[in-house]
Amino acid sequence: MNKSGTWMWPLLALALLAFILLVERRWQPERQLGPSLARLLPDLSPDAVTRLQVRRGRQFVHLERAGKSWKMVTPVVYPAQPVLVDNLIQALGRLTRLNPIVSTDLAPFGLEEPQAIIVVHQGRERLEVQIGNATPVGNQVYVRAVGVPGIYAVDASILDMAPSNVNEWRSKALLTSEVAQSFDRLEVRSPTRGLGFVLSYNPTNKTWRLSRPMAARADRVKVEQLLLACLQARVEQFVTDDPKTDLEPLGLQPPQLELALGQDTNDLVSVTFGNSPSNQPAMVYARRLSHSNIVLVSKELVEKLAIPFTELRDRHLFSFVPELVTQIELLGEENITIRRQTNGLWRVTEPDEFPADGMLVMELLGDLFAMQVSQFEKDIVTDFSPYGLAQPLRQVTLKTSATNETGLTNIIVAQAFFGTNGIGHVFARRHDETSVYEVTEADLMRLPFFAWQVRERKIWNFNVTNVVRVTVRQGERVHQLIRRGQTNWVVGTGSQGLLNAAGVESVVRQLGQLSAAAWAGRGAEARSRLGFNPPSMRVEIEVNEAGKLNTYTLEFGAQSRAQVPWASVQLDGQWWCFEFPWHLYRDMARDLFPVTVPAG
């Protein structure tokens, strides 16, 4: 071993230690100043903040948390803009200690007399941030936090988040969100104009009703539009906070109009509305009675509130949920009952029994749901005889199925009676009201008078591949077409004429899925009225079904207004007459009829 070199190892160790102490420790604090590691207010928890104080020059604002929102308590008591306050607190929480400036002289940075002082309270903890001058570049400002060493440059937007104008801290909403979530009464009062009404909400069935000046159903859509206009109303300008302001010149004593939102009989908030300023005719003075301040709001809101209560009345004669209806009863010239089966299909059960057309039933329910009162004839009626409603000419009842202790039962969900006619209108009333209304005669005429009008329009169903023969008879003339395979048709013995096999195949395929365009009647009376004595033409379609030859017979009568002959088929042993689909008759005339078809 070379003993002369061993003395160097202790010296190297000492040098390494000195490097660690002098170099590594010197740079360590700078690495900790990264923005993700060094917040200016590390203890700030935005959700825990309960109070906020902001001083800008001589202006001082004190705000306190109020549930999920904020309120201003100094210099005036007023709801604050929650988004503005929350954004400022969040921005304070994002401030970082990056590149500190160490100086005991605060004047050069504008921190001896700061532009703004923001104090945050969370529980018993108090955090203060002071904002000074702008940096030479101009896009940053100098700040310091009390109790935290150093001065820092941060984004200048922090100053814009703390407005110097008190009014900018105020909520611009005329009505606060807390009120909007809890009221069940809307009242408009106007002693000077003789207007006013009260709307009450029923949380059980989720409906609005007029309770003054009369009890009546309210139109849900119109009420919701009115409520939305109230809740969206904004303050356009804060006029004064002086409680000694003379209200009479502003039209606020007495007010032109007053809006109250409440629970039961207790007003949660009341707003009075006055005149328009001479230089701002589109605005009106307004005053919330819980505050002394006066503001300007859009005149449009007052115009919406000043409508007659009759405009809010529900003009629907029927009120029901179509999906819940399981039985329809129509009493009149013929008593009709239509029931929804367990499989969802509808069926006529009175006066006869046959399948009902699901689309026609839905159209019927749609017509009833849309039927409007054209005129409010009289609100409180004790004698319905003058209106023909003591023994009504027609009656419509809608029921739903329900199960109780005795089993399955039908409950009336809507019912209306129709009486005598006026000029273009019919008197009507609901079973649960004493009012008499007018509805248009046209609306009533859209309802079916006879059960046959709602029969299933699908007439029959067979496949063209099973068709054996088609015979067309017109008086003494007979034309027969025989099917020998797909698109393979020949003219029968004794028949003559040109043949379009593809056209015949298409027509017969459509006839296999025949549906009535609209029913016109049933029985001998209908056939006589529609020109079937004798029929102008008869079509017989022979079909092989499970080895048995069945004949489907279709007869044509006189022409309808659509210039298409009426058609008739036998269903359930009875002749049914209907309007034939014009496009199918056009194709039949081109490809199936070999002879001239008379006009009817």
Long-range contacts formed by 563-568: CB under 8 A, 24+ apart: 565/531, 565/536, 565/537, 565/597, 565/600, 566/520, 566/530, 566/531, 566/532, 567/516, 568/527, 568/530, 568/532, 568/535
Smallest CA-to-CA distance from 315 within 370, 238, 395 is with 370
pLDDT tens column, 203-253: 888 889 999 898 999 999 999 999 999 989 999 999 998 888 899 999 998
Domain limits of the chain?
46-169, 177-312, 322-454, 464-591
Q: What is the pLDDT of residue 25?
A: 35
Three-state SS at 197: strand
Q: What is the pLDDT of residue 292?
A: 76
Long-range contacts formed by 46-51: CB under 8 A, 24+ apart: 46/86, 46/89, 46/90, 46/93, 48/122, 48/123, 49/89, 49/120, 49/121, 49/122, 50/121, 50/122, 50/123, 51/120, 51/121
Three-state SS at 179: helix
Residue 33: phi, psi to the nearest 5?
A: -85, 10
Smallest CA-to-CA distance from 494 within 482, 478, 472, 483 is with 478
**In angstroms, rounded to a whole number, what is the distance separating the alpha carbons of residues 345 and 538?**
32
Element holding 73 (H helix, E strand): strand 69-74
- 555 CB-contact burial (10 Å; exposed 0-12 / middle 13-18 / buried 19+): buried
pLDDT tens column, 456-481: 999 999 999 999 999 999 888 899 99
Say yes or no to pLDDT of 518 above 60.
yes
Q: What is the pLDDT of residue 180?
A: 61
pLDDT tens column, 242-282: 888 899 999 998 899 999 998 888 888 889 999 999 999 99
**In angstroms, rounded to a whole number, what is the distance separating the alpha carbons of residues 506 and 587?**
9
> What strands, in cross-sheet order, belong to the sheet with 185-190?
216-217, 207-212, 195-202, 185-190, 257-263, 266-273, 283-288, 294-298, 235-240
Residue matched to tokens 């006026």: 422
Mean pLDDT across 317-339: 95
Give the burial string for 420-434 (b: 16+ CB within 10 Å, else e).
eeeeebbbbbbeeee
Show the tokens assigned to 242: 């002086």
Q: What is the pLDDT of residue 9?
A: 43
User: Is residue 181 very low, low, confident or very high in pLDDT (cuts 50, 70, 90)?
Assistant: low
Model pTM score: 0.73
